[in-house]
Structure 1
Amino acid sequence: MRLKSRDFMQGFSNKKQDKLVQFAKVDPNYTSGRPSLIFDGESIVTIKKYPYIASYEPAPNDRVMLIKGVIQGNIV
């Protein structure tokens, strides 16, 4: 059986339409632990607290990038 290029590319598509990469701002009232975020296009702080990679230390109002729901770091 020969695999068509269209079928091959569909294997990489995100069928659930999850947002793999997202941008947000750390809650201005953040003090410690996992931060809540304000996602781009939103104005309300999330209830959910988001994990972050060990090399990043969150700070209030940081603009951050998330990949698959994990904060990767501050965008300068």
Structure 2
Amino acid sequence: MINPEKFIEMFGNKEPEELVKLAQVDPDYTSGRPRLIFDGETVISKQYPYASSYTPSPNDRVLVLKGVVICAIK
């Protein structure tokens, strides 16, 4: 049984996890896992995996779900 103090400890004062993010594929992308520029940022990120149904292209605007590029947003 979880008491109120334990509940607050588990869920209180924590940053919410960002499950969904929007980004742009690196303009210099050529192949492999794409590097991204997330909305509101100017630094190009590390490489991210992508869904098999999506083929990355330079400058694509993409939806990232839990760290995986899901699709381009048209």
Do they superpose with TM above 0.5?
yes
**Percent of paired sites with the same residue:** 56
Q: Hey, which bits of structure 1, 4+ residues long, moved more than 3 A?
A: none
- For residue 45 of structure 1, give the secondary structure of its aligned residue in structure 2: coil
The answer to whether structure 1 residue 60 and structure 2 residue 58 are counterparts is yes
TM superposition score normalised by structure 1: 0.77
* Aligned equivalent of 1:29: 28
RMSD: 1.9
**Unmatched runs of 5 consecutive residues or more in structure 2:** 1-6
TM superposition score normalised by structure 2: 0.79
**Unmatched runs of 5 consecutive residues or more in structure 1:** 1-6
CA distance in 2, matches of 1:52, 1:16: 26
